[in-house]
Amino acid sequence: MRLLLRLLKWFVILGFVGALAGAAALGIAYWILAPRLPAVSSLKDVQMQEPLMVYSSDGKLIASFGETNRIPVTFQQIPPMLRDAFLAAEDADFYHHPGVDFVGTARAAFEVLIHGGHKVQGGSTITQQVARNFFLSPEKSYTRKIMEWFLAFRIEDELSKNDILTLYLNKIFLGHRAYGVAAAAQYYYGKTLDQLTLPECAMLGGLPQAPSAANPVTNLKRAMVRRDYVLRRMYDVGFIKRDQYEKALATPDDAFPHEPPIQVEAPYVAEMARLLAVQKLGNKALTDGYTIYTTINGHLQDAANAAVRSEMLSYSRRHGWFGP
């Protein structure tokens, strides 16, 4: 018994010393890294990449240009069910931690030790992911991870939880050039956010782990496994009831590519608008969300296109020309 008490005493002492050493190490790390940390106040007025959109004079889409397909939305425009899907999948304690989930981080560190230094489980909160996506490189190193922690604390001091979640849901890549939840909803389901069902919300919520390899268009089987995991998480943490979970679990997925709906066929006009925009604004024209309204009237352009097709077909029947 006396031996057990002595061992317990030493464990307590070692734990206390370890905690002090850890705190000292973090303090030194902050002193070294603080000058290199960017100002997170820029997140209050961030400009995300959006494509150049070209419309007719009556507001019909002619073309979109740019590598990034994004539709920015406000917190209020994101349905609670969709928010819950991402929280369940990525960070169920988001509204309760200060930016870093110490329990999750300790669990991840323990897994690294158990598995010989190979990372098998993440510990990044949504706030940490915002820090990484906006400020840090994708390199995997202990220095970057520590900087991620410090930035997460600063972000939590500057922004509300709702603002942080909104940034995250507008920024993340979800496969097939879709950045943010609104663009993903449009691409995979042809819907606005308020039209999404519970299974569709869970599908989108599962995409951040492997957006290119495990989305429902590229690999439906793998995406369904992830969707069902998210549904289970939503049920386990109390976001949905049992009957909702079972009904959603039995629902098949019908995702397929929905490109931006081109409403007016005027490619030469669209290209001319793009060239003029790039000449005046440089590459920012394709990334800063500019909108161009042309003098082309959608109804008149449709009529002109139909007339040209009719006449060319008529000419083809008379002279044997079948077009390019």
Q: What is the pLDDT of residues 94-122, one digit of tens each?
A: 999 999 987 766 666 556 556 555 454 45
Question: How far, in Å, CA of 259 to CA of 38, rounded?
Answer: 36
Q: Is the domain of 320 the same as that of 274?
A: yes
**Chain-centre distance for alpha carbon 91:** 14
Q: Which two tokens stand for residue 34?
A: 């603080």
Could you tell me the CA-to-CA distances from 109 to 103, 112, 115, 117, 140 in Å, in that order? 10, 5, 10, 9, 14
Q: Is the domain of 30 the same as that of 56?
A: no
pLDDT at 173 over 50: yes
Q: DSSP letters along 96-145, please?
A: TSSSS-HHHHHHHHHHHHHTTT---S----HHHHHHHHHHS-S---HHHH
Question: How far, in Å, CA of 185 to CA of 251, rounded?
Answer: 17
Residue 324, pLDDT score: 55
Share of the chain above pLDDT 90, in %: 65
Indicate which CATH number applies to the domain containing 213: 1.10.3810.10
Residue 151, pLDDT score: 93
Domain that holds residue 295: 52-67+263-324
Q: DSSP letters along 158-212, please?
A: HS-HHHHHHHHHHH-B-STTEESHHHHHHHHHS--GGG--HHHHHHHHTGGGSTT
- Among the residue ranges 37-41, 223-227, 267-271, 299-303, the one predicted with the least confidence is 37-41
Residue 40, pLDDT score: 84
**Chain-centre distance for alpha carbon 317:** 52
Q: Is the domain of 145 the same as that of 267?
A: no
- Among the residue ranges 35-39, 111-115, 295-299, the one predicted with the least confidence is 111-115
Which one-letter amino acid corresponds to residue 181?
V
Question: How far, in Å, CA of 319 to CA of 129, rounded?
Answer: 63
For 49-62, how does the pLDDT look when each residue is reduced to its tens digit (9 = 90+)?
999 999 999 999 99
Q: DSSP letters along 202-255, please?
A: HHHHTGGGSTTTSSTTT-HHHHHHHHHHHHHHHHHTTSS-HHHHHHHHTPPP--
Q: Is the domain of 158 the same as that of 278?
A: no
In which region does residue 81 sit, left (phi positive, over 0), alpha (psi from -120 to 50) or beta (all else)?
alpha
Q: Which of 258, 42, 48, 36 is nearest to 168 (CA)?
A: 48
Say if CB 248 and CB 202 are below 8 A apart.
yes
For CA atoms 238, 243, 244, 250, give the dihedral sign: positive
Going by C-beta distance under 8 Å and a sequence separation of 6 or more, which residues neighbour residue 53?
Answer: 61, 63, 64, 289, 290, 291, 292
Residue 11, pLDDT score: 55
pLDDT at 226 over 80: yes
Say if CB 152 and CB 131 are below 8 A apart.
yes
Residue scoring higher pLDDT (132 or 103): 132
Residue scoring higher pLDDT (260 or 15): 260
Task: Say if 120 falls within a structural domain.
Answer: yes
Q: Is the domain of 153 the same as that of 185?
A: yes
Q: Which of 70, 89, 95, 84 is nearest to 225 (CA)?
A: 89
Q: Is the domain of 76 the same as that of 61?
A: no
pLDDT at 8 over 70: no
Task: Say if 45 falls within a structural domain.
Answer: no
Domain count, the chain: 3
Task: Say if 255 falls within a structural domain.
Answer: no
Query: What average pLDDT does the segment 225-229 reach?
Result: 98
For 16-30, how does the pLDDT look when each residue is reduced to its tens digit (9 = 90+)?
544 455 445 455 554
Say if CB 43 and CB 159 are below 8 A apart.
yes
Q: Is the domain of 29 the same as that of 147?
A: no
Residue 50, pLDDT score: 92
Residue 214, pLDDT score: 94
Supply the mean pLDDT for the chain: 86
4: three-class secondary structure by DSSP: helix
Residue 31, pLDDT score: 45
Q: Which two tokens stand for residue 243?
A: 């009957």
For 305-323, how does the pLDDT look when each residue is reduced to its tens digit (9 = 90+)?
899 888 888 877 777 655 5
CA angle 150, 156, 158 (to 5 degrees): 105
Q: Which residues of 167-179 are buried (b: 16+ CB within 10 A; e: fewer)?
A: bbbbbbbbbbbbb
Say if CB 136 and CB 112 are below 8 A apart.
no
Q: Is the domain of 79 the same as that of 135?
A: yes
Q: Is the domain of 56 the same as that of 104?
A: no
Residue 314, pLDDT score: 82
Q: Which of 169, 168, 206 is nearest to 79 (CA)?
A: 169
Q: Is the domain of 243 the same as that of 223?
A: yes
- Tell me which of 217, 249, 281 is where a domain ends: 249
Residue 266, pLDDT score: 93
Residue 101, pLDDT score: 86
Task: Say if 44 falls within a structural domain.
Answer: no
